[in-house]
Amino acid sequence: MRADLDIIQEWIPAGSRVLDLGCGDGDLLYWLRENKQVTGYGLEIDPKQIANCVDKGINVIEQDLDQGLGNFASNSFDVVVMTQSLQALRYPDKVLREMLRVGRTCIITFPNFAHWRCRWYLATKGRMPVSEFLPYTWYNTPNIHFCTFRDFEALCREMQVSVRDHLAVDHQHRDSLISRLWPNLMGEIGIYRVSGPAHAE
């Protein structure tokens, strides 16, 4: 399983109901089903990934996150997960609000645009950062809403969302002392566990 999913699964209690937004090939839901008796659904729009989910017997629903989660009842899931999709959404704030409505807890991962390599690239070249990890150029990137850890945390404060857990890792999802000390500078990917005002513990 992908390294970030391995971190995420630790935050998902056994037997819970999970909604995975942008579930990809269904790896997380499959692992959770096999190992933690988790039930749930994955939303995906990529036909190839959907086919992979069907092969694995994952409950996959073809649905575009930008259309919202209006078809899911409030508080109908224990955990709503969204990995590496926040920056590709048209309305990330609205989707975040929807996630918090549908689930008690939300786990979100996204790339940190304030990572030192991005800063260095922009500062020295004066151009939008392109890397092995984020290989797109500005005009063809699906990532239309990059943000930094501080940006995301500011949005959370604005929306009265409490951050329960937070991990800054490198692009191979390794945790290090340096990224703990200066997450917004040294962390490449942020993994957040948040809950809305209604579910403040």
Partner 1 sequence: MPTAYPEDSVGLVTPQQLHFSEPLELACGRSLADYTLVYETYGTLNADRSNAVLVCHALSGHHHAAGYHSAEDRKPGWWDSCIGPGKAVDTRKFFVVSLNNLGGCNGSTGPASHNPQTGQPFGADFPVVTVEDWVHSQARLADALGIAQWAAVIGGSLGGMQAMQWAISYPERIRHCMAIASAPALSAQNIAFNEVARQAILTDPQYHDGHFIAKGVIPKRGLMLARMVGHITYLSDDSMGEKFGHRRKNEQLNFDVHSVEFQVESYLRYQGQEFSERFDANTYLLMTKALDYFDPAGKYDGDLTRTLADVQADFCVISFTTDWRFSPARSREIADALIAAQKNVCYLEIDAPQGHDAFLIPIPRYIQAFSSYMNRITF
Interacting residues with partner 1 (CB under 8 A): 17, 39, 41, 47, 50-51, 53-55, 57-63, 71-73, 76
Q: DSSP letter at 173?
A: -
Closer Cβ to partner 1, 19 or 147, answer by number: 19
Q: How many CB atoms lie within 10 A of CB 183?
A: 21
Longest dimension (CA), the chain: 50
* Least CB distance to partner 1 at residue 190 (A): 29
- Ranges of H-type helices in 19-159: 27-36, 47-56, 92-102, 116-125, 149-158
* Least CB distance to partner 1 at residue 60 (A): 5
Nearest to 84 by CA among 38, 23, 130: 23
Closer Cβ to partner 1, 56 or 180, answer by number: 56
Closer Cβ to partner 1, 26 or 187, answer by number: 26
Closer Cβ to partner 1, 55 or 93, answer by number: 55
| CA gap 79, 181 in Å, rounded | 28
| CA gap 3, 91 in Å, rounded | 27
Identify any residues that bridge with 43 across adjacent strands, giving them in sequence order. 21, 61
Closer Cβ to partner 1, 12 or 161, answer by number: 12
* Least CB distance to partner 1 at residue 11 (A): 22
* Least CB distance to partner 1 at residue 15 (A): 13
Backbone angles phi, psi at 43, to 5 degrees: -105, 140
* Least CB distance to partner 1 at residue 61 (A): 5
